[in-house]
A and B are shown apart, each in its own frame.
Chain A
Amino acid sequence: MIQMKNVYKKYPNGIVALNGLNVEIDQGEFVYIVGPSGAGKSTFIKMMYREERPSSGQMLINGKDIAKLKNRKVPFLRRDIGVVFQDFKLLPRLNVYENVAFALEVIEEKPQVIKERVMEVLDMVGLKHKAKMFPRELSGGEQQRVSIARSIVNTPKIMIADEPTGNLDPDTSWDIMNLFEQINSTGTTIIMATHNREIVNKLRHRVIAIEGGLIVRDAAGGDYGYED
């Protein structure tokens, strides 16, 4: 379902982030992306939701090359992809409910649908009772759960997480991982870039290691493999 063929990416400043990378990820897979900083993990992930375009090569989703997708069609691609970040990216002026609802409002969903769906996902991430609270009143883990709720509220088929536990303590990180497991069990593909060795080693899934813009290791149920 996700396929990269000879994806090469050179930034205007001359840095080559991806150097002819090939990969295939099936629907429903859970994949860790590991590797040292600056190895191309972020670029790899950004390719999937067309934040970056390959300089050459193909970036296929369901057989369609999204590198060739017209800019004005990109929003519709993104509606099928949920994205979660290390820094949550919540809107400070909106409360929990509004932050999640925002994702549906901007795609002009009907108000009844918004209400139903938002409460549904807030229930799922266990924050229904904090719907009226503002991000600054929540712990880091809770904030990340809000951002996860937002990313899945329009039922995407792919979920992309860039270091989702990077700012969280170990216990909270496990809560977040449980949530990811749960989302993955409904058939959502999860692609997660991480530096968290403990999680990768305990919660075994496919591991793709990227170094120097290339995949140096790709093992189902592999371990983290770095000492940091």
Chain B
Amino acid sequence: MCATQPEVITAMKIRTFGRHIKESLKSLGRNGWMTFASVSAVTVTLLLVGVFVMIMMNLNKVADDLENDVEIKVFVSLDAGEEEVAGLEEEISGLDGVESADFSTKEEELTDLVLDFGEELSLFEQSNPLFDVFYVKATEPQQTETVAKEIAQLEYIEDVEYGEGKIEKLFNFLNAGRNVGLVLILALLFTAMFLISNTIRITIVARRTEIEIMKLVGATNWFVRVPFILEGMWLGILGSIIPIGLVVLLYQKITEFAQPRLSGELFQLLEFSPFIYQVSALILAMGVFIGIWGSFMSIRKFLRV
């Protein structure tokens, strides 16, 4: 009497698992419209998640690329002689967080300007109003500001210029976008889970007698639960098929369109592979997760197993 046989609980037999899979699939068909409704909800949610992730990851990439291009332009004061310039170069290169410091004379600067803006500027060759300049790169883009301020403290420095504010603005924009997107996606995830848990609840109600008998003849709690969890999982997986297909197709088109046009630009989009496969895996994982979580919510409430 009261035989507690722990070895029975340990491994679920493969045969049993096959039975659970069969049961869960049958139930999908029986619940027809509810299955359709929750799969659609998951589809919409995951599609938005997929597109959102695609956009955010690429914006991040663009931001990274742009960041890496951020330089500090250091203007050397006019009273610095060659020796001082050499000294400065050493000092700047020696600073913490400086990757490189390239010197450019004011004549070179003017040549660049003329190249960019046209011959009219060559008038200035008589009395060059420009400064000798160092182009300094920080090892980490985030250090740009600190490095710039340190350089400004040095002697013979007229002025320092860098993408003040511009990087911050980009970051702020990205963060705001991310937050808005996250709220939207959380709301959608919640809806999808709610629909899934409703579908599972209908399944549970439909199988009440069966569950009652299962419990009376001594089925373990997991034995009762697993078919419902599997059903939730199928809903999630079914819901992720279309989003994955669309996201792959969409990104293929985007990369096909953008790659040639962006070649040689400062920033690039993420490569099709492995990025899109990672996004697909994420979509599938989220589908499975909301499916399982949705069914867990209704099982807990309705089965008390």
Residues on B with C-beta less than 8 A from A108 are 8, 12-13, 15-16, 223
CA distance A167 to B238 in the complex (A): 46
Within 8 A of A (CB), among B160-216: 209-210, 212-216
Q: Which among A69, A83, A103, A111 is the interface contact of B2 at CB below 8 angstroms?
A: A69
Docked-complex contact B218 and A76, CB < 8 angstroms: yes
Within 8 A of B (CB), among A102-149: 102-103, 105-108, 111
Q: Which among A61, A62, A106 is the interface contact of B214 at CB below 8 angstroms?
A: A106
Q: Which among B8, B9, B19, B215 is the interface contact of A78 at CB below 8 angstroms?
A: B215
Docked-complex contact A106 and B218, CB < 8 angstroms: yes
Tell me whether B5 is interfacial, beta carbon within 8 Å: yes
Within 8 A of B (CB), among A37-86: 49, 61-62, 64, 66, 69, 71-73, 75-80, 83
Docked-complex contact A89 and B1, CB < 8 angstroms: no
Q: Given A89-B209, A105-B19, check contact A61 B2 (CB 8 Å).
A: yes
Q: Given A106-B218, A111-B15, check contact A77 B2 (CB 8 Å).
A: yes
How far, in Å, is A224 (CB) from chain B's closest CB?
28
Q: What interface size band does chain B fall in?
A: 20 to 34
Residues on B with C-beta less than 8 A from A72 are 9, 220-221
CA distance A89 to B15 in the complex (A): 26
CA distance A91 to B15 in the complex (A): 21
Docked-complex contact A154 and B217, CB < 8 angstroms: yes
Docked-complex contact B219 and A62, CB < 8 angstroms: no
How far, in Å, is A84 (CB) from chain B's closest CB?
10
Docked-complex contact A62 and B2, CB < 8 angstroms: yes
How far, in Å, is A136 (CB) from chain B's closest CB?
14
Q: What interface size band does chain A fall in?
A: 20 to 34
How far, in Å, is A100 (CB) from chain B's closest CB?
10
Docked-complex contact A78 and B2, CB < 8 angstroms: no
Given contact pairs A75-B221, A77-B218, a sample of 19 additional A-B residue pairs in the complex whose CB atoms are under 8 Å apart: A49-B216, A62-B1, A69-B2, A71-B221, A72-B220, A73-B4, A76-B2, A76-B218, A78-B215, A78-B216, A79-B3, A79-B217, A83-B216, A89-B213, A106-B214, A108-B13, A111-B15, A150-B217, A154-B218
* B-to-A contact residues, CB < 8 Å: 1-5, 8-9, 12-13, 15-16, 19, 209-210, 212-221, 223
Can you list 30 A-B pairs with a CB-CB distance of less than 8 A?
A49-B216, A61-B2, A62-B1, A66-B2, A72-B9, A72-B220, A73-B4, A75-B220, A76-B4, A77-B2, A77-B3, A77-B218, A78-B216, A78-B217, A79-B3, A80-B1, A80-B2, A80-B3, A89-B209, A89-B212, A89-B213, A91-B213, A103-B217, A106-B217, A107-B218, A108-B13, A108-B223, A111-B15, A150-B217, A151-B217
* A-to-B contact residues, CB < 8 Å: 1, 49, 61-62, 64, 66, 69, 71-73, 75-80, 83, 89, 91, 102-103, 105-108, 111, 150-151, 154, 157-158
